[in-house]
Amino acid sequence: MKQLTKAEEEIMQILWDLKEGNVASIIKQMQEPKPAYNTVSTIVRILENKDFVDHRQEGKGYIYFPVVEKETYSNQSMNQLMNNYFNGSFKSMVSFFMKKNDLSTRELETILKEIDKDEK
């Protein structure tokens, strides 16, 4: 799966939330200063070329929708982060985030319970 740029990922986040939308509805969800219509339209077409987005025609325009699920992309991004920065070690990655976020023992126990619950 291809990596997304920051701008592409921002648009994907909006499409994942909207489920589908035209360029104008995507722009409406973006923060100020809002980019130009042509800029967003170009990024959406790039996302189509990367097979993250598809469209259907509605009237004279297009409705865009994600074809890659958010969870699929999140999993791939986390695996890539773990492999690139933590030598593929989940333990090293968790340890890093624990130290950076100053997690308490109680918070770590809660996380471990969630992981254990998901494995069952």
The answer on pLDDT for 68 being more than 90 is: yes
pTM of the model: 0.78
- Domain co-membership, 25 together with 57: yes
Contact 77, 4 (CB under 8 A): no
Count how many residues are written for the chain. 120
Domain count, the chain: 2
Q: Strand 61-66 to strand 53-58: parallel, antiparallel, or no bridges (unpaired)?
A: antiparallel
Q: Per-residue pLDDT for 42 more than 80?
A: yes
* Domain span at 59: 6-66
For position 21, which CATH number holds?
1.10.10.10
pLDDT tens string 15-38: 999 999 999 999 999 999 999 999
pLDDT band at 92 (very low <50, low <70, confident <90, very high): confident
CA distances from 91 to 84, 87, 98, 99, 100 (A): 14, 10, 10, 12, 14
Report the C-alpha gap between 50 and 2 in whole angstroms.
7
Q: Are residues 54 and 21 in the same domain?
A: yes
* Residue 56 parent element (H or E): strand 53-58
